[in-house]
Amino acid sequence: MVNYILLAVGVFVILIAIIMIFLDKVKGEDIYFSMDVKEQEIKKVIEDADEIISELNYTSEMVVHEIEEKINSFKGELKRLNNPEALAVQKEAIAAASVMPTAVTAIKKKKITNDSSENDAPIDEKLSQKQLSVFEYASQGMSVTDIAKQMNIGQGEVMLIMSLKNEVE
């Protein structure tokens, strides 16, 4: 009789062990499936982030391009205003306006110049530490992308600073 009880207990323990192994295996497969799903989700997020970064780079390049165009436009206007021939034309217009009372009575002229206190300072003192760092990396032959990664700033900002260096020199 004891043998039958021990046999029944043994069979019962074996059945419980088999059920537990089966349940653990089912849960383990679920974990691997879940990990695969999470991996795919992470890859999708990384692809989306790369796409956003490339769009931001393109946008920053466009902004830098537009800023450069504005700077060139302002330079042309500055040259036009500082041109002696343009000043003579303005003086003639002022003289003509004072003769004719119904016309515009005055045309203001203003020569655009830099602040004299800034002209006395050396170029390096006008530049921020960030600009100096960008110029230093560029002089070492680093690319815009490498400089941006090194300084943790955008490529567009690096390109803008580099274009400003050309304006200062």
For 135, phi then psi, to 5°, come to: -65, -35
pTM assigned to the model:
0.33
Q: Does the 114-169 domain belong in CATH 3.30.1560? A: no
Determine contact, residues 162/134, Cβ cutoff 8 Å.
Answer: yes
Mutual angle of helices 84-99 and 2-82, in 10-degree steps: 60
pLDDT at 126: 57
Structure tokens at 135: 């110029």
pLDDT digits (tens, 9 = 90+) for 8-30: 999 999 999 999 888 877 776 66
Please state the φ and ψ torsions of residue 79, each to the nearest 5 degrees: -65, -40
pLDDT in tens, 73-132: 888 888 877 776 766 666 676 666 655 444 444 444 444 444 444 444 455 555 688 888
Q: Where are the domains of the chain?
A: 21-76, 83-113, 114-169
pLDDT (0 to 100) of residue 104: 40
Distance in angstroms (rounded) separating the CA atoms of residues 55 and 95: 54
